[in-house]
Amino acid sequence: MFAAIGVVILLVMVFGGFAITGGALGPVMHAIPHEMLIIGGAAVGAVVTGNSMHELKAIGGSMAKIFKGPKHNKQDHIDAIILTTRLMKLLRSEGPVALESHVQEPQNSPIFAEFPRLLANKALVSLICDTLTLIVVSSGTLEVHAVEEVMDNAMKSHFHEMHEPQHALTTLADSLPALGIVAAVLGIVKTMGSIDKPPSVLGGMIGSALVGTFMGVLLAYGIVAPLAGRLKQVIEQDEQIFHAVKQVIIASLHGWPQPLVVEGARSGLGHAFRPGLSELLDALRGR
């Protein structure tokens, strides 16, 4: 929502300031469709050229992330810690066999069923279930550092994929000023072909050409780059729930007492999603 508000403020201040200072918006508005056809078309072509269909779909889906914000709220992070803590407690108290059905078919697990929002995050559920399945099939004989390394590799691969749309937007922002220059040069070429026209006509044509440079810079640094920055923030916030889950699993395998386990997971969360320790412990008792 704030991203949309920011874009509106940007456009109002740029074009409003231009008009207030005596600039004529008519010629600019007349030139924008033609310049945007060149700049926008070139930008779309560059994005399509540089990405596979998978990445293109991810870029499209990332627009919703930018305007909607992180996938999970504070309660989801609390629930993730509670869910993982319960699974590790079951492993410790009843053994790998009791845990097997929950991690092999999480959609049918009564424990997972209590957290439908988490169950909808397939990547998070896979991280939990795949890790605990390794522990189940090995009868708990795996070394903790080996489990941690496997989790780190899985998270690294997933996070890399999550960041691909942000990298694509950053690359697009870097290229837009140059594409604006391309549109401006074409406008100058057109103007030079009409050099015999009166100064008033040539002035309008040169002004239209310069709108191309203006639009390229405005789109790059005023819209696309900030959107890429916002997407990076959202993705990094979405990563925190994975780190919390990993912390609970690894700390539990080390044999830490439960309060210390949940504090380790809680303290790694950003302030927007971090519950108080008493709040988290009360939530655990309530479950």
DSSP state of 218: I
Q: Could you tell me the pLDDT band of residue 287, with boundaries at 50, 70 and 90? A: low
Is the pLDDT at 145 greater than 60? The verdict is yes
State how far the Cα of 285 lies from the Cα of 265, in Å rounded to an integer.
17
Mean pLDDT of the chain: 91
Q: Bigger pLDDT: 202 or 67? A: 67
Q: For 82-141, what is each residue's pLDDT tens digit?
A: 999 999 999 988 888 889 999 999 999 999 999 999 999 999 999 999 999 998 988 767
| Sign of CA pseudo-dihedral 85, 90, 93, 96 | negative
Name the token pair of 235.
Answer: 């993705």
pLDDT (0 to 100) of residue 190: 86
Compute the average pLDDT of residues 251-264.
92
- Which carries the bigger pLDDT value, residue 259 or residue 196? 259
Give the number of other CB atoms < 10 A from CB of residue 172.
Answer: 22
Category of 164 on φ-ψ map: left (φ > 0), alpha (ψ -120 to 50) or beta? alpha
Question: What is the residue type of 253?
Answer: L
What does the pLDDT look like over 70-88, one tens digit per residue? Answer: 999 999 999 999 999 999 9
What percent of the chain shows pLDDT beyond 70?
99
**For 162-184, what is the mean pLDDT?**
94
Q: How far is CA 167 from the centre of its chain?
A: 10
Pairwise CA distance, residues 284 & 287, whole Å:
5
pLDDT at 196: 79
At 47-73, the pLDDT tens digits run 999 999 989 999 998 988 999 999 999
Angstrom CA distances, 92 to 57, 88, 101, 162, 274, stand at 42, 6, 15, 33, 26
Structure tokens at 280: 């988290």
Phi/psi at 164 (5° precision) = -60, -45
Tell me, what's the pLDDT at 174?
96
Pair of tokens at residue 117: 């929002």
pLDDT confidence bin for 27, thresholds 50/70/90: confident
> What's the CA gap between 89 and 83, in Å, rounded?
10
Higher pLDDT, 202 or 12: 12
